[in-house]
Amino acid sequence: MKNLECWLSSLQRDGSPGFSVCRDKLATYFPLLERYESTEQDSQWHAEGNVAIHTDMVLNELYCLLNREANHIQGQDRQALILSALLHDIAKPITTRSKEIAGVERVVASGHEERGLSYLAIRLLALPLEYDVIHKVMALVGYHHMPKLLVVKNQGYGQYLNLALNADIELLYWLEVADMRGRLCSDLDSQLDLLDQFKMFAEEYGVWQDCAPFSTATRSIQVKATVVEQIYLDSYAVRLLIDNDIHMAEEAVSKTYQSSSSYSHLYVMCGVSGSGKSSWIAANLKDFEVISLDEIRRELNGGQESQKNRGRVLQLAKERLKTALAKKRNVVWDATNIRRDFRKVVCDYGRNYGALVTMVVFQLAESILIKRDSERSRSVGRDVISDQIDRLQWPEFSEAHRTMIVGENGKLLSKLGSFDKDVQ
């Protein structure tokens, strides 16, 4: 581990390893690296060949950028950018397939960005990295398709803000410049032009090199007399901006005028079994009404491990949630919630009832999850833990008003949104 730590540390300074060296160092942690060479790419978009060839070219282009235009990027940002270049296509081996497009058989890897983010979320924790680096690598991998997409779709401020809340805009730009230059394709100049436009719009919207986009977006509306009201205003203002329901943060003041003085909280848990969700709730949300799918299974089926009456379990949970929200009671939804569509239903209920929605995401290394599960009286087993990790869809910030990332022993790793200063 010491040798690996030294090697990773070199990436913060002048380290410039090619793909084969990176694979040899990290394939134990990310087995999909071993499948890069056997993963084909589309001959029009990637005439250079397989994913291994492309990744090596991207790394080399990135080192050129870091020595010239991007030589101001140093330390942990440099480390994060190099690891992101290595891992940006990590999910292509499991998403690549053939697809007919306009009557021609093409090779696609739809959704490899999001799958890559979720694949890395747990596995990156095994490396001796600062959490800020882990967070940045996940985001760069998960959103590296967005810069060009925002330009092509002619998106406005709300979507640029949303991207800035999820990923470092400047690092994303440099990653994609390297990604484009590290391939052989006929439309390279037009692709690079899209990235230049992305940078221009990001600068115009004020999200370029902004390390605190949430605070920047809400700076003009710090008008409430109490912290409780201000948190609500800030949270809903950003959400309304992202959804293009308003175009200036000031518009949120009138839209939330009545609701900001009296509202309920909805906390939505998200984490693999054994993450410590219930323990965290007991320690941090003592006065909240807890809606637990496990407890409802016990109530209806006689045991929480029983999967009978799944429809009735969910329906009863939803009814209790709506009742609590309608009566403005603080409530927490306690379930694994590893699927995005399941989380969306719950979060939508919260917003529809005017609650402040907070997502609490538990991020622990697989070895720790397996150990914790084995020590529980109702262990689900190693295979279930591994299966849940494989099916995990990592949340993005806009799913809720606020997000907290919690690690081992309830340690707060990160938070994004408007919080009281006393939040741990």
pLDDT digit string, tens, across residues 384-407: 999 999 999 999 999 999 999 999
Dist. CA 165–CA 46, nearest whole Å: 30
pLDDT at 287: 92
Dist. CA 325–CA 351, nearest whole Å: 10
Task: Show the tokens assigned to 218.
Answer: 């809400």
| Of 78, 168, 400, residue with least CA distance to 270 | 400
pLDDT at 305: 60
For residues 176 and 294, the model is more confident at 176
Q: How far is CA 307 from the centre of its chain?
A: 29
pLDDT at 280: 96
- CA end-to-end distance (rounded Å), the chain: 31
| Of 173, 180, 217, residue with least CA distance to 197 | 173
Q: Residue 261: what residue type? A: S
| Of 161, 141, 147, 183, residue with least CA distance to 44 | 183
Percent with pLDDT over 90 in the chain: 90
Q: What is the mean pLDDT of residues 377-386?
A: 88
Which residues does residue 406 pair with via DSSP β-bridges, in sequence order?
362, 412
Q: What is the mean pLDDT of residues 266-292?
A: 95
Residues whose CB is less than 8 angstroms from the CB of residue 237 and which lie 6 or more positions away in sequence, other chains included: 217, 218, 221, 246, 249, 252, 256
Cα 236–118–128 angle (5° rounding)?
A: 105
Residues whose CB is less than 8 angstroms from the CB of residue 383 and which lie 6 or more positions away in sequence, other chains included: none
- Give 388-393 contacts, CB < 8 A, sequence gap 24+: 388/272, 388/273, 388/336, 388/338, 389/122, 389/272, 391/338, 391/339, 392/118, 392/121, 392/122, 392/272, 392/338, 393/114, 393/118, 393/338, 393/339, 393/340
Residue 152 has pLDDT above 50, yes or no: yes
DSSP annotation of 219: G
Residue 273 has pLDDT above 60, yes or no: yes
Residue 300 has pLDDT above 80, yes or no: no
Q: What is the mean pLDDT of residues 135-163?
A: 98
Residue 364 has pLDDT above 80, yes or no: yes
Percent with pLDDT over 70 in the chain: 97
Residue 4 has pLDDT above 70, yes or no: yes
Token pair 């030589």 is at which residue?
71
Q: What is the mean pLDDT of residues 312-319?
A: 91
Q: Residue 120: what residue type? A: L
- The 10s digit of each residue's pLDDT in 330-359 is 999 999 999 999 999 999 999 999 999 999
- Give 199-202 contacts, CB < 8 A, sequence gap 24+: 199/173, 201/150, 201/151, 201/160, 202/160, 202/164, 202/169, 202/173
pLDDT at 302: 60
Residues whose CB is less than 8 angstroms from the CB of residue 17 and which lie 6 or more positions away in sequence, other chains included: 7, 11, 25, 59
Which residues does residue 267 pair with via DSSP β-bridges, in sequence order?
332, 358
Dist. CA 245–CA 251, nearest whole Å: 9
pLDDT at 306: 52
CB 273 within 8 A of CB 373: yes
Which residues does residue 415 pair with via DSSP β-bridges, in sequence order?
404
**Per-residue pLDDT band at 362 (split at 50, 70, 90):** very high
Task: Show the tokens assigned to 76.
Answer: 């942990």
Token pair 């914790």 is at which residue?
372
Domains belonging to the chain, first-starting first, are: 2-204 (1.10.3210), 213-255 (no CATH), 263-416 (3.40.50.300)
Residue 58 has pLDDT above 80, yes or no: yes
Q: What is the mean pLDDT of residues 66-77?
A: 97
Q: What is the mean pLDDT of residues 53-82?
A: 98
- The 10s digit of each residue's pLDDT in 115-132 is 999 999 999 999 999 999
**Per-residue pLDDT band at 376 (split at 50, 70, 90):** confident
Dist. CA 330–CA 356, nearest whole Å: 10
Averaged confidence pLDDT in the chain: 95
| HSE of 337, CA atoms in CB hemisphere, 13 A | 25
pLDDT at 141: 98
**Per-residue pLDDT band at 1 (split at 50, 70, 90):** confident
Token pair 């902004």 is at which residue?
210
Dist. CA 266–CA 333, nearest whole Å: 8
**Per-residue pLDDT band at 374 (split at 50, 70, 90):** confident
**Per-residue pLDDT band at 424 (split at 50, 70, 90):** very low
